[in-house]
Structure 1
Amino acid sequence: MPEPTAQSPDPPRTLADRALARLQDDIVRGVIAPGTKLGESELAARYGVSRGPMREVIRRLESRKLLERKVHVGTRVTSLDPQRLAHLYFVREALEGMAARTAATAMSDAEIAMLHALLEQHEQQQDLKEDIAYFQREGDLDFHYRIIQGSHNPALVETLIGELYYLIRMSRYQFSSVAKRPRKALQEHRQIVEAIEARDGELAELLMRRHISRARRNIEAESAHPAVSNVS
């Protein structure tokens, strides 16, 4: 039997879907900088759709917290100031720790095998091999997304994926490379999977909370001494 492999998200089907995927990716990766004011007509032309579908794209990105609309100001890309990031990561630490604890009893053996396969794929990334950066594609190709889904807890899924996921991805990309941290982050991922595989929920939660706490401290250090940092 072939080994399980992680699957890519389904490709966007319509022009509007593709525009959403491209604009979202450009925001998450910082191609369009935080705080940038966005015009509906300009975006429609840039991403090859009419203004009607682009209006819906903007609405969906607002619901994902990547865009903010303010009276007399317009629509801007969300800015993640240090205090907001710290608050976000305190919430993330608690809830993803809970997700890891729950996943230790809720995930099937097949789902755990997929986690191992996913980390094997991550290890082949050239930037990770060189200890430069560790950035994951979204959805099933994202280790944290898999853990959250593996909790099989609708409330955790709705909060961490429905409300916070893309904002967290944005922060993770902004701080995605720091010397000697990417390889350590991968090792921490492996330890979390091992705890889940051992059905040790208490250890899985502890390891996940420590993992995200380190990311938060990196953000705080970066804010105090601006340089390139890393979260995962």
Structure 2
Amino acid sequence: MDVQTQADRTFDLLEAEIVSGRIPMGAKLGEEALAARFGVSRGPLREALRRLEGRSLAVRTAHSGVRVVELSEDDLVELYEVRGSLEGLAARLAAERGDDAELADIADLLVRQRDFGKSNADTDYSQGIEQDDFHYRIAMASGSSRLQRLLCGDLYSLIRMCRYKTWSIPGQRKSHQDHERILEAIQNRDGDLAELLMRRHVGVARQRYHQAESRGFTD
């Protein structure tokens, strides 16, 4: 396995552990321990850590090295404000520009998620690959490359990290119903309604995050 492939693999593993909370916010990302854990040399590991910094999942300080990012209350407010605006716009553009076949695929995804949830209440189907993520798919359906880069690039990992923290809070069925209503508005080509529903949905997600914080959920 070449150095770049090792760096890619190490980045993917670290990102998954940070996003899921298995490596918690504020944790030190020590090179020696991580190199031994993932079976890689320092070179690929350092490249992976630099990429985590680029995704805003890690920060480097002069005295403590690299640590997982910690989000302050102000950070969270800003993140959800930006997310609500951008995802609302994505829903509007998907209604205006979205390909019928692509929207039908998203409808099929929601059916699979609903069926999966009936027998897997303790697992979040949407936290797998990007193609199983409703929000990711709506961003892609918007047809805006700049919006896609914003929502599916730097912001995406931070958003997923917050969503992981809330999936164990009651309300997943309501979240799925929100997705169905948003998609219905998009398929009906009602951009105003699609944007409104998406903004409301993200606002509720923000409330659920604070509920998770107050109740001490970490998954």
- The size of the alignment, in residue pairs, is 215
Residue number among 13, 34, 47 corresponding to 1:22 in the alignment: 13
Structure 2 residues not aligned, in runs of 5+ = none
Aligned residue in 1 for 2:172: 182
- Other structure's SS at 2:169 match: coil
Q: Which residue of 2 aligns with 1:9?
A: none
1:53 aligns with 2:26: no
2:139 is aligned to 148
Taking the TM superposition and a 5 Å limit, the aligned residue runs for 1:55-94 are: 55-94=46-85
1:32 corresponds to which residue?
Answer: 23
Q: Does 1:196 align with 2:189?
A: no
RMSD of Structure 2 on Structure 1 (CA): 2.0
- Answer whether contact 1:80 1:171 (CA < 8 A) is retained: no
1:44 equivalent in alignment to 2:16: no
Write the letter of the residue equivalent to 2:204: R
> Shift of residue 49 of structure 1?
1.4
Q: Is 2:210 the partner of 1:206?
A: no
Distance 1:163 1:62, change over 3 A: same
Give 3-state SS (helix, strand or coil) of 1:177's partner: coil
Q: TM-score, normalised by structure 2?
A: 0.90
State the distance in 1 between where 2:129 and 2:80 align.
Answer: 18
Residue matched to 1:219: 209
1-structure distance, mates of 2:81, 2:125: 21
Distance 1:196 1:24, change over 3 A: same
Q: Which amino acid counterpart does residue 201 of structure 1 have in structure 2?
A: G
CA distance in 1, matches of 2:218, 2:116: 19
Deviation at 1:135, TM superposition (A): 5.1
Aligned to 1:3: none
Which structure carries more helix by proportion?
2
TM-aligned CA distance change 1:17 to 1:47, over 3 Å: same
Distance of aligned partners of 1:222 and 1:173 in 2 relative to their CA distance in 1, 3 Å threshold: closer
TM-score, with normalisation over the residues of structure 1? 0.85
Q: In the TM superposition, what is the alpha-carbon distance from 1:220 to its structure 2 partner?
A: 3.3
8 A contact 2:57–2:68 mirrored in 1: yes
Q: Distance in 2 between matches of 1:228 and 1:77?
A: 18
- Cross-structure match for 1:99: 90
1:218, distance to aligned residue in structure 2 (A):
2.0
Q: How does 1:112-151 map to 2 (within 5 A)?
A: 112-126=103-117, 129=119, 132=122, 134=124, 136=126, 137-151=128-142
Q: Identity, % of aligned pairs?
A: 46
